[in-house]
Structures are given as C-alpha cells and as structure tokens.
C-alpha cells in the first residue's frame, strides 16, 4: 500500500475544495437574477448603429424589395402610411405579422400574403423595424455585420 505524505494530502484537499468553490461561484454568476422579470433581448443584433445580423439584414432586403417605403417612407417616418418608428413601439409581433399578412385593406395597407419574400422574412422584417423604432439602428440603410468584422 502506498502511503501519501500528509502534507501532500492536505494540498490535494485544498485544490479540490478550491475548484469546487470556483465551480459553484461560476454557476451562481451564470444564473439570471431571480425575482426580476428577465427583459426580453432585442430581436436584432446591431453594431455601430447599422451593422446587423443576417436575419435583420434580410428583413431590410425584404422591406426594400416589397417597396414598403413607398407608403411608410424610406426612413419609416411615414408618408401616406403611418410612421412605423412610432407604430412599432406598441405593435406586438403577432399583430405585426397579422397586419402585413392580411393588410388593412379598408385603410390602404395592402396584404402581402402572396409575397414569399415577405412571408419568408417576418422575423427579419420585424427585427429591422423594431431596431429602427427603438433607435438602435440609427440609419435606414443597414449592412451585414460580417462586413465590419472583415475590416478589423
């Protein structure tokens, strides 16, 4: 039987205890604050005001391709249609999708249910408009985040 030197044994105990404490500490930090309602993260990622994630980028492309700006303005400021900078502050994602899908035909908002470009990109379109309305996307023309990463 091999005997472990007592001081070595103490050292082993200390190292094991130390790593256990470290592990429990990390776990505690990872846990979201309890009791506080966790705020939903924004549906987009934006850096420097206009470099966005690919989903949001496709939302912008869909916005341009479907010419939503014809009525809502290039900057979403409103023309014959209302400002979406304002409207998107209170519109739920569900109502957004319903409005764009079905339109509000009696009020002049067309239905886009036959536009695959739009129905394939609801997440991105919502994210783009939400980012604009929140003021996090600071210019209407956005670019791919990866273009910025290539520059670094």
Using CB under 6 A as the criterion, which residues of the chain lie in contact with ligand HEC when the complex forms? 66, 68, 70-72, 80-82, 84, 87, 91, 96, 99-100, 104, 107-110, 112, 118, 125
State the Cα–Cα distance between residues 146 and 51, nearest whole angstrom.
8
Q: How far is CA 119 from the centre of its chain?
A: 18
CB of 51 to ligand HEC, least distance (A): 22
Q: Which is nearer to ligand HEC, 77 or 99 (CB)?
A: 99
CB of 101 to ligand HEC, least distance (A): 10
Torsion-angle region of residue 71: left (phi > 0), alpha (psi -120 to 50) or beta?
alpha
CB of 121 to ligand HEC, least distance (A): 9
Q: Which is nearer to ligand HEC, 104 or 116 (CB)?
A: 104
CB of 94 to ligand HEC, least distance (A): 12
Q: Which of 93, 76, 63, 96 is nearest to 138 (CA)?
A: 76
10 Å Cβ neighbour count for 114? 8
């Amino acid at each position: 039987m091999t005997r472990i030197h007592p001081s070595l044994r103490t050292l082993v105990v200390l190292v094991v205890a130390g790593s256990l404490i470290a592990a429990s500490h990390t776990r505690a930090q990872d846990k979201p604050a309890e009791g506080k309602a966790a705020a939903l993260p924004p549906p987009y990622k934006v850096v420097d005001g206009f470099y966005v994630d690919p989903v949001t980028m496709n939302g912008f492309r869909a916005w341009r391709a479907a010419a939503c700006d014809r009525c809502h303005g290039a900057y979403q400021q409103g023309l014959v249609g209302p400002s979406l900078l304002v409207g998107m502050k209170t519109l739920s994602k569900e109502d957004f999708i319903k409005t764009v899908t079905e339109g509000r035909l009696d009020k002049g908002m067309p239905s886009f249910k036959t536009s695959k470009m739009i129905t394939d990109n609801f997440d991105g379109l919502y994210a783009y408009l939400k980012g604009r309305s929140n003021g996090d996307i600071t210019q209407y023309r956005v670019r791919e985040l990866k273009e910025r990463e290539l520059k670094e």
